[in-house]
Structure 1
Amino acid sequence: AANIIRGEKVQIVNNNNGERLETYAIPGPRNSGEVTLNGAAARKVAVGDVLILITYAWMELEEAKTFEPAMIFPNEENNMLN
């Protein structure tokens, strides 16, 4: 839903403990609503933490002026998109 692609650099902000880290996207099960951190990144979060995922893009100035980022807010009870 957020148009994040395989291998894309992702910055993760953990609202529960203040941790920030950078990693890359690996596809998970489609429509699962799941965000999983692997390896060392997994030590920075706990199940139930509220995360913000940020990605960046390079673009020409004129394109940037009209660019609309994707903002996704999953249902907090089941992680699914409404």
Structure 2
Amino acid sequence: MLVHLLKSKIHRAQVTGGSLDYEGSLTIAEDLMEAAGLHPYEKILCSNMANGARFETYVIKGPRGSGQIVLNGAAAHCGKAGDRLTIMSFTEVDAAQAADWHPTVIVLGENNRIVARK
């Protein structure tokens, strides 16, 4: 049996911009993607701490070190610059592995810099 578990999470990511004209996705700075174990085009679930919106989209790579978190396409309607997001990805693991599973979690602070890893 497979169990659907949290694979990775970026907590308190601050939205830096939005682009309605883009076809969809969430831009995340490449270094933050790597720290969280996210892959380009990976499906993610986002929750906006400011307005309660929850939405699914996929990740695209932003410039390394830029701190970019950009809502693109329809997702741009789910928040605005300054809002804080929780960005989550999930995986399926064998039930035997689930007991010892630990997701990769990073917490962001000012300018979307990593302040904690869990």
Superposed CA deviations along residues 11-34 of structure 1, whole A, max 9, x for unmatched, are 010010011100011111122222
What 5-or-longer segments of structure 2 have no aligned partner?
1-34
Match of 1:35 among 52, 59, 69: 69
Superposed CA deviations along residues 19-71 of structure 1, whole A, max 9, x for unmatched, are 11000111111222221111110111110101001111011112222111111
1:17 aligns with 2:51: yes
1:81 aligns with 2:114: yes
- How many residues are matched? 81
1:53 aligns with 2:79: no
- Cross-structure match for 2:5: none
Deviating 4+ runs (over 6 angstroms): none
Q: Distance in 1 between matches of 2:62 and 2:42?
A: 14
Q: Distance in 2 between matches of 1:61 and 1:34?
A: 36
Residue identity in the other structure for 1:79: N
Q: Quickly say closer, same or farther: Cα 1:32–1:64, change in 2 above 3 A.
A: farther
Higher relative contact order (CA 8 A, sep 6+): 2
Contact 1:32–1:80 (Cα < 8 Å) also in 2 = no
* TM, length-normalised to structure 2: 0.64
* TM, length-normalised to structure 1: 0.90
- Cross-structure match for 1:63: 97
